[in-house]
Amino acid sequence: MPCEEWSRLLERYRDAVNTYNEAAQALRGLPGTSFSELWQDAEHARTKCSSGRADLLHHEHVHACLEPDGKKPRSAGINTKTLVIGGQRQTAG
């Protein structure tokens, strides 16, 4: 059973993915300066997304809270490497 920390990290990761998705969508069709400004926002969001995923995977590895016997983090039918991101049906790996 996932612990509270894992659930918190997952929610943080989901929020970061959604923010990144929105930032990337905002880049469509923008000219020069406007694009450059929003590109920086998208890059910041991408960095937070990457960091959130790394934190989640690190927690799974160290804490092993997804495995009932505390061995390998794979149980509960949850595998964060194949989570659907932002409703886009893209995998996280």
Q: Are 93 and 82 in contact (CB under 8 A)?
A: yes
Residue 26 and residue 64: Cα distance in Å, rounded?
A: 38
The residue extents of the domains of the chain are 4-82
3-class DSSP assignment, residue 29: coil
| Tokens encoding 62 | 């160290």
pTM for the full predicted model: 0.66
Q: Give the Cβ contact number of residue 78 at 10 Å.
A: 15
pLDDT tens, residue by residue, 30-82:
877 888 889 999 999 999 999 999 999 999 888 888 776 656 544 445 555 55
pLDDT at 75: 43
CA neighbor of 9 nearest in space, from 89, 88, 78: 78
Indicate whether 7 pLDDT > 50. Answer: yes
Residues in the chain: 93
